[in-house]
Structure 1
Amino acid sequence: MSKISFQNDILPLKNQLYRLALRITLRNAEAEDIVQETLIKAWNVRDKWDTIDNIEAFCFTICRNLALDSIKRHDNRNETLENVRTDAADTQQTPLDKATTNNRIDIVRHLVDSLPEKQRSCIQLRDFEGKTYKEIATVMGIPEEQVKVNIFRGRQAIKTQFQKLDNFGVSKKNP
């Protein structure tokens, strides 16, 4: 087992940890605080790093648990992500195309935000962070099959709700 370095192995996880905390808490400032606390907790057990099988999963587990504790304390499950926008890189888009794309992204974000926490976390870790089912199972403390079920159900719920909105003209397709 190689020696774990805070600078090289843990600190580079901060953006991924932030995205996970944000997806769970739905609050920018709270997510930032959770990442700081996660990094501090990881640092405080530095004398035990050589006994940890997967330091990345260890950090994600700390982050998820802190985020869950936070939403229990603040009861903020009905809020949505704010001030987080992904603008399309395609400069060939017209302003209408860009607005349509941004509208669809906002709708999908809202739909993901409205999922139950386990589905939301599994989708965040898999689709946004690129984690394997095994890594997600470790972080979430659930079997791999349950991870797959949560991801499948979450994706199905998003697809179904998005299609309903699309069919009602909330999100129009270009001809």
Structure 2
Amino acid sequence: MKEISFRTDVLPLKNELFRMALRITLNRDDAEDVVQETMMKVWNRREQWAQIESMEAFCMTICRNVALDHQKRMENQNVSLEDEDSVSTHPSNVRTPEEQAMQRDRVERVRGLMNRLPEKQRTCMQLRDVEGKSYKEIAAVMNITEQQVKVNIFRARQTIKQEFLKQEQYGL
């Protein structure tokens, strides 16, 4: 059995946990609170660490559950994914200011479309396309089958593609 250390095995996951929490809560401050609560819950379960097969999946599952609980409490609030001044999308291949503005607009529209997806689809897509997790890892975090993960990702991508194309063809 591998000896698990909070410093070397759990703390390095904080950015990944933050991104997942942010994708669910859609608010930076709330996501930070969720990560803090997740870290405390993981620490309080340190006696169980030896039995855990994947510390990452364990932490991600706790984070997801804490974020979902938080969302239930805050259900009536509608906030954006990021504050406008913290958005940093500067692809190196975009050259002119006009192209940069168009690219930022597209990214924001895709984020907006992602934010409107059902929670399971949004989380599956975040874990796969942003975090680069395998279907197996996502299934473990979300407590669903790999086939359900694939279906959720497929539906999420289809919805975003269709809505984005509608916006491109007919305007907002």
When normalised by structure 1's length, the TM-score is 0.92
Which runs of 4 or more aligned residues in structure 1 lie more than 6 Å from their structure 2 counterparts after TM superposition? none
1:92 Cα shift?
Answer: 5.6
Count residues in correspondence.
170
**Does 1:121 find its partner at 2:123?**
yes
**Does 1:48 find its partner at 2:56?**
no
**Does 1:59 find its partner at 2:59?**
yes
When normalised by structure 2's length, the TM-score is 0.94
1:154 Cα shift?
Answer: 0.2
CA distance in 1, matches of 2:93, 2:168: 25
CA distance in 2, matches of 1:169, 1:74: 31
1:133 Cα shift?
Answer: 0.5
**Does 1:72 find its partner at 2:75?**
no
Which residue identity lines up with residue 52 of structure 2 in the other structure? I
2:23·2:123 contact (CA, 8 Å) conserved in 1? Answer: yes
1:28 Cα shift?
Answer: 1.0
Aligned twin of 2:160? 158
Q: Which one is further off, 91-100 or 29-38?
A: 91-100
Which of 85, 89, 113 matches 1:111? 113
Q: Which runs of 5+ in 2 are unaligned?
A: none
Aligned twin of 1:144? 146
1:25·1:76 contact (CA, 8 Å) conserved in 2? Answer: no
Q: Percent identity among equivalent residues?
A: 55
Q: Which runs of 5+ in 1 are unaligned?
A: 171-175
Cα RMSD after superposing both structures:
1.4
